[in-house]
Amino acid sequence: MSERSLRGTQLGSRSLETEEGVEPAPRQMVEFECEDGTKFKVPFSIEAEVPSTWDSGIHGIGTRVGVNEPDGEPGKHVRSHWDMLLERRSFDELQVLLDERLAVRRGEVPAQA
């Protein structure tokens, strides 16, 4: 019987709370402009850190109106294996090692253990 009494009340799909007395967070509207000249506004909280670029979803990436440059931090250079090798040995030392290994590979010199 209890199944029949709950049927049709939509208890799982609708909240019974009202929005009375609920105050939304203060917002600011920030304007962005795409490369094709399309302008769009995005709401942000007043406390939020607003980015200088935003994807419009239709026209591509837009830059914030009133900001000169995007806030792209200069990327940290990723050290490659070659960079780390050059920190330990000079280019001349590496050339000597390469010549020795090539001679071993060609069979000109017996390999050392």
Please write the tens of the pLDDT for every residue from 43-95.
999 998 999 898 988 888 888 988 765 555 666 778 899 899 999 999 999 99
- In the predicted model, what is the mean pLDDT of the chain? 82
The residue that leads in pLDDT, 57 or 33, is 33
Does residue 17 lie in a domain region?
Answer: no
**58 and 86, same domain (yes or no):** no
**83 and 60, same domain (yes or no):** no
Q: Which of 73, 69, 37, 28 is nearest to 56 (CA)?
A: 37
CA dist 29 and 45 (Å) reads 9
Domain at 32, CATH number: 2.20.28.270
Does residue 40 lie in a domain region?
Answer: yes
Q: Which of 29, 36, 30, 81 is nearest to 52 (CA)?
A: 30
Does residue 22 lie in a domain region?
Answer: no
Residue 43's domain comprises 27-64
Does residue 45 lie in a domain region?
Answer: yes
Does residue 4 lie in a domain region?
Answer: no
Q: How far is CA 15 from CA 9, 11, 18, 19, 46, in A?
A: 11, 7, 8, 10, 28
Beta bridge partners of 33: 39, 63
Side by side, the strands of the sheet bearing 53-55 are: 39-45, 27-34, 61-64, 53-55
Does residue 19 lie in a domain region?
Answer: no
Does residue 70 lie in a domain region?
Answer: no
Does residue 34 lie in a domain region?
Answer: yes
pLDDT value for 110:
73
CA dist 28 and 42 (Å) reads 8
* Number of domains comprising the chain: 2
**60 and 83, same domain (yes or no):** no
